[in-house]
Amino acid sequence: MQSIVIAGYARSPFHLANKGALARVRPDDLTAQVIRGLIGKTGVDPADLEDLVVGCAFPEGEQGLNVARLIGLLADLPISVGGMTVNRFCGSSMSAIHYAMGQIALGAGEAFICAGVESMSRVPMMGFNPMPNPALAKKSAVYMSMGETAENVAAKYEISRSEQEALAVESQKRAAAAREAGKFTDEIVPIETKGGTVSEDGAIRPGTTAEDLAGLKPAFDANGTVTAGTSSPLTDGASAVLVTTEDYARKHDLPILARIKSVSISGCAPETMGLGPIISSQKAMERAGITAADLDVVELNEAFASQAIACIKDLGLDPAKTNIDGGAIAIGHPLGATGARIVGKAAELLKREGGKYALASQCIGGGQGIATVLEAV
């Protein structure tokens, strides 16, 4: 199979849902601005794009219909460029990348923009009118709340509240330091809103301490250990990566960040959905012919501290190399946008840190995991 690369990465600032600076921005408008920013940053010729593939976890309301096509038109892409919306909940935009990779392998195009969006301000968690199947609800935990699954993981792995809080504090510390050092500047596309330009993340809480988090009440179970401080916040945001053949990227002098080495998807028990990255990461690393010891960069989505800790332990990941610039507990987790963010970020970090291999992985509501292994070029 020909070499396929990440030839660009961009995202919006991530802000808290309902009260952040992006709460009044339509998700289609938000993503269109990110797409324009990615094109401007990379210099790719939009006429060469085969398709715009957009991941969204709750594709309804302002991010409904075939929002990918609508975003392409809003972004002024050539009329010839297609648009497809994909949904794998939190793994949606990483799945968009995997889809583009498959299309390229089939010879069905050389250049794709793979994006993700979620406005958790404009479209609520579970959508506007959830209708669970009663028969399925009786025999499966697939409709269980994400917070409950985080409590289940904490109990199964005997992860204490203090362990969870330590990870959350470290995530906030790293993200705040990265923002202060300007390490997010190149990846963020400033977003124009009616209230002005938004150019920095708004969910990061500098100075967060273990003492601060110890004072919070359990969020999902009165006798539990998971709190708002050890959970990723409801977030608004969009992200995008440019996926092309290596030959195309070199021919057009695009900024190659990393080569896609392998990908995987896996299922797991819905009641412990946070463990999804374990099997998917193992599969992806086996397909890449590497082990956790070979990884120089890991982007593991922190849906909850409990599940992130469990995955780090089971996979044997090095915490020092995991979420180097902070994770979702600090930066935020706009569901459909996170996959493209962590793949793009892993590629960017691989280039910045000078490593050989990177892993991006995340859990998915309903009981799935998804992973991507990247290789330095």
Active site residues: 90, 333, 363
Identify whether the C-beta of residue 134 lies closer than 8 Å to the C-beta of residue 74. Answer: no
Residue of 337, 187, 331 lying closest to 255 (CA atoms): 187
- CA dist., res. 196 & res. 20, Å (int): 13
* The pair of three-digit structure tokens given for residue 358, joined into one six-digit string: 């990177």
| Burial group, residue 250, by CB count within 10 angstroms (0-12, 13-18, 19+) | middle
Residues 6+ apart with CB under 8 A from 197: 190, 191
Distances (CA, A) of 292 to 87, 119, 258: 29, 34, 18
- CA dist., res. 235 & res. 307, Å (int): 19
Which phi and psi angles does 56 have, rounded to 5°? -150, 130
Query: Can you give the C-alpha Rg of the chain in angstroms?
Result: 19
Identify whether the C-beta of residue 169 lies closer than 8 Å to the C-beta of residue 322. Answer: no
Residue of 304, 169, 317, 233 lying closest to 15 (CA atoms): 233
